[in-house]
Amino acid sequence: MSILGTPNKPAPAKNNGPLLRYIAIGCGLLLVIAIAFSVGTGIGFAFGRFTGDGPRTAAAPTVATEEAAPVAPERDLSNADMEIFWEAMGLLERDFYGELPAGQERSYGAIRGVLGLLDDPNTSFMAPDQAKSFLESMDGSFEGIGATVELVEDGSAVRLVEPFENQPAWNAGLRRNDLVIAIDGVAVSEMADLNVAISKIKGPKGSSVVLTIKRPSTDETFDVTVVRDVIQIPIVFTDTYGQDEDIAYIRLSRFSDDSGRRVRDAVDEATRKDLRGIIFDLRGNPGGLLREAVRVSSVFLEGERVLIERFSDGSEQIYDTEDKAAVDAALPIVLLVDEGSASASEIVAGALQDAGRAVLIGTTTFGKGSVQLPHTLSDGSMMRVTIARWYTPADRSIDKTGLDPDIVVEITDEQIEADEDPQLDRAIELLETGQ
């Protein structure tokens, strides 16, 4: 989701180069409705993103670069095409019966109009307040309803990809795949894009928003009032399972700064005792920083390729593991994924699957295989531009298709509400019995 010019591309190289890239989550942008709206998208992701631009939390995912984005190229605004634009604007200013939007809003509208022609939901524009929320979300600051979302293809609704347990949306009774068709009485179909919807859903702690929900499973439509709050989602959660408590469980909620170190610390702590195996849970993870996807992969892999990034000019950037693995190569690993696993989550899952290092259990992942470069514009607004596609080490593209698990295990809303987890149960069974 972005516009204006083509950023400079990194020179082809076979190293890990700049990794602070946001891999945005597809299908319109997935955002974890915390401040803006994760992994992407969402979404994951939210956020969704960043590479790890999977679904997002009130902000959107992407894979960003650590280096400063290149300055937008100079443009000749006096050419014939732009003259037509100014001619049309002059006619509107002279003849329109009504009130025209302010100059800044006109500019934003023009940008969004061009972006709408690109057939790329991940190239996007955010007004200054939306950009601020987005950046805050990457720092782990969330205020909102607590859900990973995406915009449906026809723009008529926002789909809840993953409401976080015990967070405002969940506590208000909202569940996975619920469709938000109106926000405070305004139809989502009348909103310019997902960012606009996000700006209406987000808000400070203690404030409320009325969401009109259509539940596909029952075709029921109803209003829900959600009181916003500070979203508390631990980046890494650990537990143990099995009769002898010898199965380590590690869940990563997003690929934010320092996620790689936190996962490594969790694995180091778990492997202080003899283990039967490790369950690494990336369900509902919308993605985040590409750099951290490489670092998390390096916890489980050593001397292996993590992903290939390809640009429009045919050049490519190859990312390999960058550290010694924290687990013995013989220790079994099960990786849990679902439709909320996006972007950076898919990078890690694809790398471990291609290397034969983990068994994937769950459902097909989101399918966010592009990389976005965020540009902060002079007025504080932001444009995220898709600059590349990424591929797994085996040269697989997962964009719009996702990764298929090795063992498919579905989970229903009824099972979730009953605190049942057949995907986790299957992972434990596999590690205990080998089957």
The DSSP-derived string for 261-303 is HHHHHHHHHHTTS--SEEEEE-TT---BBHHHHHHHHHHH-SS
Alpha-carbon span 372 to 237, nearest angstrom: 28
Structure tokens at 18: 């700049």
Q: What is the pLDDT of residue 73?
A: 58
* Pairing, β 277-281 against β 333-337: parallel
Q: What is the pLDDT of residue 415?
A: 87
Alpha-carbon span 251 to 403, nearest angstrom: 19
Residue for token pair 């190229």: 73
- pTM assigned to the model: 0.73
Q: What is the pLDDT of residue 343?
A: 93
As beta bridge partners, residue 21 has none
Task: Note if 232 is an active site residue.
Answer: no
Q: What is the pLDDT of residue 277?
A: 98
Could you give all domains of the chain from N- to C-terminal order, each with its CATH number? 30-69+81-433 (3.90.226.10)
**Cβ atoms of residues 365 and 402 within 8 Å:** yes
Alpha-carbon span 2 to 256, nearest angstrom: 22
**Cβ atoms of residues 226 and 257 within 8 Å:** no
Q: Which of 199, 317, 341, 372 is catalytic?
A: 372
Q: Which of 167, 297, 368, 423 is catalytic?
A: 368
Is cis: bond before 362, omega within 30 of 0? no
Q: What is the pLDDT of residue 176?
A: 84
Q: Which of 130, 343, 370, 381 is catalytic?
A: 343
Q: What is the pLDDT of residue 149?
A: 84
Q: What is the pLDDT of residue 76?
A: 56
- pLDDT 10s per residue in the chain (435 long)? 221 222 333 333 333 333 333 333 222 233 333 322 232 222 222 222 245 344 333 333 334 434 445 555 565 555 667 888 888 888 998 999 988 888 888 889 889 889 989 988 889 999 898 888 777 666 555 788 988 788 888 889 999 987 888 889 999 999 888 999 999 999 999 987 787 888 889 888 999 999 999 998 888 899 999 999 988 777 899 999 998 999 999 999 989 889 999 999 999 999 999 999 999 999 989 898 899 999 999 999 999 999 999 999 999 999 999 999 999 999 999 999 999 999 999 999 999 999 999 999 999 999 999 998 889 999 999 999 999 999 999 999 999 999 999 999 999 878 877 889 999 999 999 999 999
Q: What is the pLDDT of residue 74?
A: 60
Q: What is the pLDDT of residue 19?
A: 34
Alpha-carbon span 79 to 70, nearest angstrom: 24
Q: What is the pLDDT of residue 14?
A: 35
Q: What is the pLDDT of residue 404?
A: 98
**Cβ atoms of residues 286 and 42 within 8 Å:** yes
Alpha-carbon span 255 to 236, nearest angstrom: 10
Dihedral sign computed on CA atoms, order 40, 44, 47, 51: negative
Q: What is the pLDDT of residue 421?
A: 95
* Residues with Cβ within 8 Å of residue 77, at least 6 apart in sequence: none
Task: Note if 343 is an active site residue.
Answer: yes
Q: What is the pLDDT of residue 63?
A: 45
Alpha-carbon span 107 to 88, nearest angstrom: 14
Q: What is the pLDDT of residue 391?
A: 98
Q: What is the pLDDT of residue 394?
A: 98
Of residues 339, 366, 46, 399, the one with CA closest to residue 198: 46
Q: What are phi and psi of 89, to 5 degrees?
A: -65, -40
Task: Note if 381 is an active site residue.
Answer: no
As beta bridge partners, residue 144 has 229
Q: Dihedral angle at the C-alpha atoms of 79, 82, 87, 88, nearest 10 degrees?
A: 160
Q: What is the pLDDT of residue 17?
A: 33
Gyration radius from the chain CA atoms? 22
